[in-house]
């Protein structure tokens, strides 16, 4: 008998897998914080014999080299991948024995990267699962534009061919187990649903239902902006990321927080956007711990700038640390927890700003107030409809374009409220009057605002 355990990482929208038999197992695309993988293997009572990478990742740091070192496992990496860490090169068709009756077969599936490799888990010669990494995803494929702009169309065509190869070689009932597609920006589009099979994808995935030219054109037209921190992930993964240190950061009192801000460092408040708006340290930024703090913080922050974390509890700090090490933000400079009133020096007050729904924005306009409406959604969201007269600066560009926001009270919105809260904190930190619209965008029309649609 075989097993496959899924390790989900909601913040980055990725998955890793532990698969094997009664005694030994393989880990596919492990996270950098390997302790939970080791714990999963311990619960199963299996030895990790292999660690397999489908590709050199662009959206997170791998724990592959460290996991292989700690467990004594063989580290399998596609042979064509340009890496400097110790590894066992894997070529198309190579097979490794996990158990006497259970093998892992490498299938070259270029497209997401030129060297991308999927792995079929075969029991007694019959495929029982396929780990597709950034190749065939649920209803989509991994994006082909993260390696080199001049290769994008070529890789998109390779994605098409790779998807067809998997569909041709594997039976309909074989589960498809991708790494990306659950919120990761490595995916061409996001998964609708939690599980899939080769047969399901054969009838629903554009890579398997469209002709190649239509698929390529549609894929290239739908590509989103690439998070800035991706530029640092590939090189770090090729070199082999260092082990992580998840011990608690040094505590920060009000004086130290003020010193960090005065030095131009980032002080990040992980509390809910509601709590942050009601009272926060002036100059701090709000990245909700329950949202996607790793993705958006790593995207916006100048790379390498020190970070001090603020939260209600030590557990929230620990959760954020775990998220952040996965994208290379290794050690917070300091951290503080508890009542935010203790985060400011004697005689100082917490800053605040109002929150509102789209109905509040409509009412402000009806009263004749001169307001600036700032839309921080992505371009792909904006083109589907926007509030008439609004200014558009995507959230990931706002920190470098604050001087482009017109004078006046800024009512900032996104699609649901989280990104608007980040943007509001950026504006509030430089002294702008701001109102965070904490509302779903579909409520704009119901509120009586004119929404311009294509």
What string of DSSP letters covers 147-174?
S-GGGHHHHHHHHHHHHHHHHHHS-TTP
| Nearest residue to 427 via CA among 450, 406, 445 | 406
Task: State pLDDT tens for residues 111-123.
Answer: 999 999 999 999 9
pLDDT for 191: 62
In 10 A of CB 250, how many CB atoms? 11
pLDDT band at 408 (very low <50, low <70, confident <90, very high): very high
Helices and strands (DSSP H and E) totals, the chain: 16, 22
The CA-atom distances, in angstroms, between 214 and each of 107, 113, 207, 315 are: 25, 21, 9, 48
pLDDT at 294 over 70: yes
pLDDT band at 188 (very low <50, low <70, confident <90, very high): low
Q: What percent of the chain has pLDDT over 90?
A: 93
pLDDT at 150 over 70: yes
User: CA–CA separation, 135 vs 91, rounded Å?
Assistant: 16
pLDDT for 194: 86
β-bridge pairing 266-269 and 307-311: parallel
pLDDT for 351: 98
Can you state the percent helix, strand and coil of the chain, rounding each to 5?
30, 25, 45
Task: State pLDDT tens for residues 58-104.
Answer: 999 999 999 999 999 999 999 999 999 999 999 999 999 999 999 99
Q: Can you give the pTM of this predicted structure?
A: 0.93
pLDDT for 20: 98
Task: State pLDDT tens for residues 370-401.
Answer: 899 999 999 999 999 999 999 999 999 999 99
> Crossing angle, helix 35-44 and helix 64-71, to 10 degrees?
50
pLDDT band at 309 (very low <50, low <70, confident <90, very high): very high
pLDDT for 12: 85
Q: What is the DSSP letter of 142?
A: B
pLDDT for 32: 97
pLDDT at 193 over 80: no
Task: State pLDDT tens for residues 26-67.
Answer: 999 999 999 999 999 999 999 999 999 999 999 999 999 999
Task: State pLDDT tens for residues 341-363.
Answer: 999 999 999 999 999 999 999 99
pLDDT for 49: 98
Q: Average pLDDT for residues 267-287, to the nearest whole number?
A: 98
Q: What percent of the chain has pLDDT over 70?
A: 99
pLDDT for 13: 87
């Amino acid at each position: 008998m075989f097993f496959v355990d899924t390790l989900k990482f909601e913040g980055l929208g990725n998955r890793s897998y532990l698969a094997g038999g009664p005694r030994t197992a393989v880990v596919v695309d492990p996270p950098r914080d390997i302790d939970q993988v080791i714990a999963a293997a311990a619960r199963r009572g299996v030895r990790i014999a292999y660690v397999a990478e489908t590709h050199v990742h662009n959206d997170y740091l791998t724990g592959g080299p460290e996991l292989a070192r700690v467990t004594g496992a063989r580290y399998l990496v596609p042979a064509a991948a340009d890496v400097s860490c110790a590894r066992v090169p894997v070529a198309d068709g190579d097979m490794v024995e996990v158990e006497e009756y259970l093998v892992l077969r490498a299938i070259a599936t270029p497209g997401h990267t030129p060297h991308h490799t999927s792995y079929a888990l075969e029991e007694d010669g019959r495929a029982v699962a396929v780990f597709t990494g950034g190749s065939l995803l649920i209803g989509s494929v991994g994006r082909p534009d993260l390696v080199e702009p001049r290769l994008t169309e070529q890789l998109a065509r390779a994605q098409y061919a790779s998807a067809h190869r998997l569909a041709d070689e594997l039976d309909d009932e074989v589960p498809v187990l991708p790494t990306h597609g659950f919120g990761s920006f490595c995916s061409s589009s996001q998964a609708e649903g939690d599980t899939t099979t080769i047969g399901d994808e054969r009838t629903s995935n554009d890579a398997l239902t469209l002709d190649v030219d239509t698929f390529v054109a549609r894929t290239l037209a739908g590509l989103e902006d690439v998070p800035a921190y991706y530029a640092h992930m590939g090189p770090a993964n090729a070199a082999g990321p260092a082990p992580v240190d998840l011990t608690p950061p040094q505590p920060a009192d009000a004086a130290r927080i003020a010193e960090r801000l005065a030095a131009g460092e980032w002080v990040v408040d992980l509390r809910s956007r509601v709590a942050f708006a009601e009272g926060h340290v002036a100059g701090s930024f709000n990245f909700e711990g329950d949202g996607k703090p790793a993705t958006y913080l790593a995207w916006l922050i100048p790379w390498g700038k020190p970070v001090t974390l603020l939260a209600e509890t030590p557990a929230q700090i620990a959760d954020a640390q775990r998220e952040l090490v996965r994208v290379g933000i290794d050690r917070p400079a300091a951290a503080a927890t508890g009542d935010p009133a203790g985060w400011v020096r004697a005689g100082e007050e917490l800053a605040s700003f109002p929150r509102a729904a789209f109905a509040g924005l409509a009412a402000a306009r009806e009263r004749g107030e001169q307001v600036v409406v700032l839309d921080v959604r992505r371009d792909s969201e904006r083109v589907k409809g926007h509030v008439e007269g609004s200014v558009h600066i995507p959230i990931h560009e706002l920190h470098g374009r604050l001087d482009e926001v017109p004078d006046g009270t800024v009512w900032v919105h996104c699609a649901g409220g989280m990104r608007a809260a980040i943007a509001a904190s950026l504006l509030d930190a430089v002294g702008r009057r701001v109102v965070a619209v904490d509302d779903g965008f579909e409520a704009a029309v119901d509120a009586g605002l004119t929404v311009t649609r294509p």
